[in-house]
Amino acid sequence: MERNPAPQRIHLPYRIVQLSLFSLIGLFVIACGNSRELVYFNNLPDTAVYHAPAPVVPEAKIQQGDILHIRVNSLNPETNQLFNAGTLQTADERRYSRPEEGGVGSEGYLVNANGDISFPVIGQIRVEGLTIEQARVKIKELVDQYAKDAIVNVRFTNFKITVVGEVKRPATFTVPNERINIIEAIGLAGDLTEFGKRDNILLIREEGGQRTLARINLNDRETLTSPYFYLKQNDVVYVEPSRYRDPSGDRTLRVLTAVFSGLTALGLFIYRVF
């Protein structure tokens, strides 16, 4: 009579070690993948120097609600005082002033709802849609009727951008030199948090009565040549949260860590028992 072969004993500790090893490898691979997503322009070549065509810096155009600082200088002190005079508003007056007034405040000349500013001596001047240089030339031509060889300086006092969403310090920032790119804007906001989606930044821009929404991928080197790399005044940058946003940490890493720890503990228990 043939005897049935004894059942093979399954080496549980060995299987547990295998599962633990595979879990550890999976944890390592996912961690490396997540770390790569945190790197800006991660598809840049490894060469020491990389050349890319620089995008054209957009020239800001004056819009309704903008505030302009205008200064007239000539050889005649009385003329200077005449053109640079204006009724300085108090804090409460500035707070409750209406755009259609188009007057001058302590910050500068407000572009009213008609696109005009109210300038001393000259009166209403249409500046909406002009660049700063075009506005300077136009104002100088008008001032030259009263003062010879006058120097006119014009600049924005409220050139600002806003960064919100998954950044460390969301806020509205004033840009004194009227030139800023999206990397600098994110830097002002303290950089993205670990939950920010670097490959899907939303740029909101209002210009000429039209609102434009553009998506920017900070993981892609092509962003360096994008027409949206440089920001314009009043742009809003919104950083979306990742799909698995979890205030206590990355969900995938936490789950895998728990699984690996559990398998390791189970393996040690079985090893000691058997």
- In the chain (274 residues long), the average pLDDT of successive 10-residue segments reads 52 54 53 54 69 80 91 89 62 42 60 93 94 95 90 92 96 92 95 91 90 93 90 94 62 59 62 58
Q: Residue 173 region, left (φ>0) first, then alpha (ψ -120 to 50), else beta?
A: beta
**pTM, whole model, 2 decimals?**
0.65
CATH number at residue 209: 3.10.560.10
Domain identity same for 78 and 130:
yes
Domain-embedded: residue 205: yes
Of the candidates 250, 217, 248, 238, the residue with the CA atom closest to the CA atom of residue 167: 238
Would you say residue 46 lies in a domain?
no
Cβ atoms within 10 A of the Cβ of 183, count? 14
Range of the domain at 104: 67-156
Any domain includes 1? no
| 203, burial (CB in 10 Å: exposed 0-12, middle 13-18, buried 19+) | buried
Residues 265 and 189 in one domain: no
Beta strands in the chain (DSSP E): 67-73, 109-110, 116-119, 123-126, 151-156, 160-165, 171-174, 201-207, 210-216, 236-239
Domain count of the chain?
3
- Let me know whether 225 and 257 are in one domain: no
Domain termination residue (choose one: 134, 156, 178): 156
Q: Using an 8 Å Cβ cutoff, are 229 and 223 in contact?
A: yes
